[in-house]
Amino acid sequence: MTPADTSSSSAAKPGKGPAARAAWLKQLHQWHWISSAICLIGMILFAVTGITLNHAADIESKPAIVGKTAQLPAELAATLKPRSADEASEADRKAAVPAPVRAWLAKELGRPIDAREAEWNRDEVYLAMPRPGGDAWVRIARDSGEVEYEDTDRGWISYFNDLHKGRHAGVAWSWFIDLFAVACLLFSVTGLLILKFHAVSRPSTWPLVGLGLVIPALLALLLIH
Protein backbone atom coordinates (compact mmCIF):
# COMPACT_ATOMS: atom_id res chain seq x y z
CA MET A 1 0.00 0.00 0.00
CA THR A 2 1.41 3.40 -0.96
CA PRO A 3 1.67 6.36 1.45
CA ALA A 4 -1.13 8.07 -0.49
CA ASP A 5 -3.40 5.04 0.04
CA THR A 6 -2.57 5.05 3.75
CA SER A 7 -3.36 8.76 4.01
CA SER A 8 -6.71 8.41 2.24
CA SER A 9 -7.63 5.39 4.40
CA SER A 10 -6.93 7.36 7.62
CA ALA A 11 -9.00 10.34 6.41
CA ALA A 12 -11.96 8.08 5.70
CA LYS A 13 -12.25 6.92 9.31
CA PRO A 14 -14.78 9.18 11.11
CA GLY A 15 -14.55 10.27 14.72
CA LYS A 16 -10.76 10.20 15.04
CA GLY A 17 -7.95 12.71 14.92
CA PRO A 18 -7.68 16.47 15.60
CA ALA A 19 -10.09 17.36 12.79
CA ALA A 20 -12.87 15.21 14.25
CA ARG A 21 -12.16 16.59 17.74
CA ALA A 22 -12.40 20.15 16.43
CA ALA A 23 -15.67 19.30 14.64
CA TRP A 24 -17.18 17.85 17.85
CA LEU A 25 -16.04 20.86 19.86
CA LYS A 26 -17.54 23.25 17.31
CA GLN A 27 -20.84 21.35 17.42
CA LEU A 28 -20.88 21.41 21.22
CA HIS A 29 -20.19 25.16 21.24
CA GLN A 30 -23.06 25.71 18.82
CA TRP A 31 -25.55 23.74 20.92
CA HIS A 32 -24.19 25.38 24.07
CA TRP A 33 -24.66 28.97 22.94
CA ILE A 34 -28.07 28.29 21.36
CA SER A 35 -29.42 26.61 24.51
CA SER A 36 -27.87 29.31 26.72
CA ALA A 37 -29.48 32.05 24.62
CA ILE A 38 -32.88 30.34 24.93
CA CYS A 39 -32.42 29.89 28.69
CA LEU A 40 -31.00 33.34 29.45
CA ILE A 41 -34.13 35.28 30.45
CA GLY A 42 -35.68 32.25 32.14
CA MET A 43 -32.49 31.62 34.13
CA ILE A 44 -32.48 35.23 35.34
CA LEU A 45 -36.16 34.96 36.33
CA PHE A 46 -35.70 31.67 38.19
CA ALA A 47 -32.47 32.84 39.86
CA VAL A 48 -34.02 36.07 41.16
CA THR A 49 -37.21 34.36 42.32
CA GLY A 50 -35.07 31.68 43.97
CA ILE A 51 -33.66 34.46 46.19
CA THR A 52 -37.08 36.02 46.85
CA LEU A 53 -38.58 32.63 47.71
CA ASN A 54 -35.67 31.83 50.01
CA HIS A 55 -36.30 35.12 51.86
CA ALA A 56 -40.08 35.20 51.56
CA ALA A 57 -40.51 35.76 55.31
CA ASP A 58 -38.27 38.85 55.17
CA ILE A 59 -40.03 40.49 52.23
CA GLU A 60 -43.06 42.39 53.45
CA SER A 61 -46.07 42.55 51.20
CA LYS A 62 -49.48 44.01 51.90
CA PRO A 63 -52.13 42.33 49.76
CA ALA A 64 -54.72 44.54 48.11
CA ILE A 65 -58.20 43.15 48.69
CA VAL A 66 -61.25 44.24 46.71
CA GLY A 67 -64.74 43.05 47.63
CA LYS A 68 -68.02 43.46 45.78
CA THR A 69 -71.62 42.38 46.17
CA ALA A 70 -74.29 42.19 43.51
CA GLN A 71 -77.70 40.74 42.81
CA LEU A 72 -78.14 38.20 40.04
CA PRO A 73 -81.17 38.95 37.82
CA ALA A 74 -84.15 36.74 38.59
CA GLU A 75 -84.06 34.89 35.26
CA LEU A 76 -80.40 34.00 35.77
CA ALA A 77 -80.83 33.13 39.43
CA ALA A 78 -83.54 30.66 38.40
CA THR A 79 -80.96 28.67 36.40
CA LEU A 80 -79.01 27.99 39.61
CA LYS A 81 -81.92 26.75 41.72
CA PRO A 82 -82.35 22.99 42.23
CA ARG A 83 -84.62 21.56 39.52
CA SER A 84 -85.59 18.39 41.39
CA ALA A 85 -85.82 16.94 44.87
CA ASP A 86 -82.79 14.76 44.15
CA GLU A 87 -80.70 17.75 43.20
CA ALA A 88 -81.92 19.69 46.23
CA SER A 89 -80.82 16.88 48.54
CA GLU A 90 -77.47 16.44 46.79
CA ALA A 91 -74.67 17.40 49.18
CA ASP A 92 -71.91 18.41 46.76
CA ARG A 93 -71.10 18.31 43.09
CA LYS A 94 -68.83 20.09 40.65
CA ALA A 95 -69.84 21.71 37.38
CA ALA A 96 -69.19 24.92 35.48
CA VAL A 97 -71.41 27.93 36.09
CA PRO A 98 -73.89 28.34 33.17
CA ALA A 99 -72.56 30.52 30.34
CA PRO A 100 -75.20 33.30 30.68
CA VAL A 101 -74.38 33.63 34.38
CA ARG A 102 -70.64 33.75 33.62
CA ALA A 103 -71.20 36.49 31.04
CA TRP A 104 -73.23 38.55 33.53
CA LEU A 105 -70.61 38.07 36.26
CA ALA A 106 -67.79 39.09 33.92
CA LYS A 107 -69.60 42.31 33.01
CA GLU A 108 -70.66 43.09 36.58
CA LEU A 109 -67.35 42.25 38.27
CA GLY A 110 -65.08 43.58 35.53
CA ARG A 111 -63.05 40.43 35.06
CA PRO A 112 -63.29 37.36 32.79
CA ILE A 113 -65.01 34.29 34.21
CA ASP A 114 -63.95 31.07 32.50
CA ALA A 115 -65.67 27.69 32.37
CA ARG A 116 -63.72 26.11 35.24
CA GLU A 117 -65.60 23.87 37.65
CA ALA A 118 -67.45 25.44 40.56
CA GLU A 119 -68.46 23.77 43.81
CA TRP A 120 -72.22 23.31 44.14
CA ASN A 121 -74.02 22.49 47.36
CA ARG A 122 -77.56 22.90 48.65
CA ASP A 123 -77.21 26.57 49.50
CA GLU A 124 -74.63 28.12 47.21
CA VAL A 125 -72.35 27.94 44.20
CA TYR A 126 -68.72 28.67 45.03
CA LEU A 127 -66.25 29.48 42.25
CA ALA A 128 -62.55 29.65 43.20
CA MET A 129 -60.30 31.57 40.79
CA PRO A 130 -56.70 31.40 42.07
CA ARG A 131 -53.96 32.85 39.89
CA PRO A 132 -50.23 33.61 40.18
CA GLY A 133 -49.75 36.40 42.69
CA GLY A 134 -53.35 36.51 43.79
CA ASP A 135 -56.66 34.87 44.45
CA ALA A 136 -60.33 35.49 43.81
CA TRP A 137 -63.63 33.80 44.51
CA VAL A 138 -67.33 34.22 43.78
CA ARG A 139 -70.11 32.91 45.98
CA ILE A 140 -73.70 32.85 44.70
CA ALA A 141 -76.65 32.06 46.96
CA ARG A 142 -78.85 29.58 45.07
CA ASP A 143 -82.10 30.67 46.70
CA SER A 144 -81.75 34.48 46.49
CA GLY A 145 -79.19 35.00 43.69
CA GLU A 146 -77.06 37.21 45.95
CA VAL A 147 -73.47 37.45 44.67
CA GLU A 148 -70.41 37.98 46.85
CA TYR A 149 -67.00 38.53 45.24
CA GLU A 150 -63.51 39.04 46.63
CA ASP A 151 -60.21 39.59 44.82
CA THR A 152 -56.78 39.54 46.48
CA ASP A 153 -53.65 40.87 44.76
CA ARG A 154 -50.38 40.03 46.54
CA GLY A 155 -48.11 42.05 44.25
CA TRP A 156 -45.45 41.46 41.59
CA ILE A 157 -42.98 39.58 43.81
CA SER A 158 -45.68 37.05 44.71
CA TYR A 159 -46.64 36.86 41.03
CA PHE A 160 -43.13 35.89 39.91
CA ASN A 161 -42.67 33.58 42.90
CA ASP A 162 -45.81 31.69 41.86
CA LEU A 163 -44.53 31.49 38.28
CA HIS A 164 -41.31 29.98 39.66
CA LYS A 165 -43.37 27.27 41.38
CA GLY A 166 -45.85 26.87 38.50
CA ARG A 167 -48.65 27.66 40.98
CA HIS A 168 -52.04 28.25 39.34
CA ALA A 169 -50.26 29.21 36.09
CA GLY A 170 -52.08 26.88 33.70
CA VAL A 171 -51.10 24.19 31.23
CA ALA A 172 -49.15 26.45 28.85
CA TRP A 173 -46.80 27.61 31.63
CA SER A 174 -46.39 24.02 32.82
CA TRP A 175 -45.23 23.05 29.32
CA PHE A 176 -42.89 26.04 29.26
CA ILE A 177 -41.25 24.94 32.54
CA ASP A 178 -40.73 21.42 31.14
CA LEU A 179 -39.20 22.71 27.89
CA PHE A 180 -37.10 25.24 29.80
CA ALA A 181 -35.78 22.44 32.03
CA VAL A 182 -34.80 20.40 28.96
CA ALA A 183 -32.99 23.42 27.49
CA CYS A 184 -31.15 23.93 30.81
CA LEU A 185 -30.09 20.27 30.79
CA LEU A 186 -28.78 20.66 27.26
CA PHE A 187 -26.95 23.84 28.25
CA SER A 188 -25.39 22.12 31.29
CA VAL A 189 -24.44 18.85 29.57
CA THR A 190 -22.85 20.59 26.58
CA GLY A 191 -20.99 22.84 29.02
CA LEU A 192 -19.69 19.78 30.86
CA LEU A 193 -18.50 18.19 27.60
CA ILE A 194 -16.79 21.44 26.57
CA LEU A 195 -15.04 21.44 29.96
CA LYS A 196 -13.89 17.88 29.23
CA PHE A 197 -12.31 19.00 25.95
CA HIS A 198 -10.47 21.88 27.66
CA ALA A 199 -9.60 20.09 30.91
CA VAL A 200 -6.19 18.97 29.60
CA SER A 201 -4.96 22.57 29.42
CA ARG A 202 -6.91 23.74 32.49
CA PRO A 203 -5.90 21.63 35.53
CA SER A 204 -8.39 23.34 37.87
CA THR A 205 -11.39 22.21 35.80
CA TRP A 206 -12.29 18.98 37.59
CA PRO A 207 -11.50 20.22 41.13
CA LEU A 208 -13.93 23.12 40.53
CA VAL A 209 -16.56 20.79 39.10
CA GLY A 210 -16.06 18.53 42.09
CA LEU A 211 -16.60 21.45 44.48
CA GLY A 212 -19.97 22.04 42.84
CA LEU A 213 -20.93 18.53 44.00
CA VAL A 214 -19.10 18.34 47.32
CA ILE A 215 -20.28 21.67 48.82
CA PRO A 216 -24.07 21.04 48.54
CA ALA A 217 -23.56 17.39 49.52
CA LEU A 218 -21.72 18.39 52.71
CA LEU A 219 -24.33 21.03 53.54
CA ALA A 220 -27.10 18.47 53.08
CA LEU A 221 -25.35 15.82 55.19
CA LEU A 222 -24.02 18.02 58.00
CA LEU A 223 -26.28 21.06 58.33
CA ILE A 224 -29.74 19.96 57.19
CA HIS A 225 -31.68 18.04 59.82
Q: Residues 70-119: pLDDT tens digits?
A: 999 999 999 998 766 555 555 568 899 999 999 999 999 999 999 999 99
Looking at residue 97, the DSSP 8-state letter turns out to be P
How far is the C-alpha of 25 from the C-alpha of 35, rounded, in Å? Answer: 15
Q: In terms of Cα–Cα distance, which of 126, 128, 124, 127 is closest to 81?
A: 124
Phi, psi dihedrals of residue 63, rounded to the nearest 5°: -65, 145
CB 119 within 8 A of CB 104: no
pLDDT in tens, 10-38: 444 445 678 888 888 899 999 999 999 99
Residue 4 in this model has a pLDDT that exceeds 50: no
Measured CA to CA, the distance from residue 207 to residue 103 in angstroms comes to: 63
Q: Please tell me the pTM assigned to this model.
A: 0.79
Burial 129-152 (b: 16+ CB within 10 A, else e): bebbbbbbebbbbbeebebebebb
68 DSSP 8-state letter? E
